[in-house]
Amino acid sequence: MGYAGKITNETKILLVLSKKHCCSIEELEQYTKIKKEELKVYLSKLAKEGKISRGWGHIAGKKYRKYCIKTKILEELNLM
């Protein structure tokens, strides 16, 4: 038996973040196949709900936005 319902975009984002813990928007776009503009909407909603946090990362002098899943969500999903 397979899964009868559809996986929502928010669930896709949370699944990727549960595996990677933190990702840039470009990485999330690659892993979830959701367009960047649409991702921003879902990420804002998840941040307001307190499921993810947003911060800044630095690589080779360049600044990028990183999105991380919160520990309490990992504990709720029994992944910690």
Pairwise CA distance, residues 59 & 64, whole Å: 8
**CA 21, chain centre distance (Å):** 8
- Residue 39 located in a structural domain: yes
Domain count, the chain: 1
Instruction: Tell me which residue has tokens 């800044």.
Output: 56
- Which pLDDT score, from 0 to 100, does residue 23 have? 94
- Residue 34 located in a structural domain: yes
Q: Examine the pLDDT at 1 and tell me if it is beyond 50.
A: no
- Residue 32 located in a structural domain: yes
Under the banding of pLDDT at 50, 70 and 90, the label for residue 16 is: very high
Mean pLDDT of the chain: 89
Question: What would the mean pLDDT of 12-28 be, rounded to a whole number?
Answer: 93
Q: What is the CATH number of the domain that holds 56?
A: 1.10.10.10
- Residue 68 located in a structural domain: yes
Global pTM reads 0.83
- Residue 2 located in a structural domain: no
Q: How many CB atoms lie within 10 A of CB 34?
A: 20
Q: Examine the pLDDT at 80 and tell me if it is beyond 70.
A: no
- Residue 4 located in a structural domain: no
- Residue 64 located in a structural domain: yes
Report the DSSP beta bridge partners of residue 5: none
Q: Examine the pLDDT at 2 and tell me if it is beyond 60.
A: no
